[in-house]
Amino acid sequence: MTTPAPAQRKASVVLDCPPAHVGRCARCHQPCHRYGFGGNPLCSTCRETVEAARQKKPLR
Give the number of other Cβ atoms within 10 Å of residue 44's Cβ.
13
Shortest Å, Cβ 3 to Zn ion? 25
Q: Does 27 bind Zn ion (CB under 5 A)?
A: yes
Per CB under 5 A, the list member of 14, 20, 28, 50 interacting with Zn ion is 28
* Residue choice 11, 15, 22, 25 for contact with Zn ion (CB under 5 A): 25
The answer to the question of residue 15 lying near Zn ion (CB under 5 A) is: no
Q: How far apart, in whole angstroms, are the C-alpha atoms of residue 8 and residue 18?
A: 9
CA 35 to CA 22: how far, in whole Å?
7
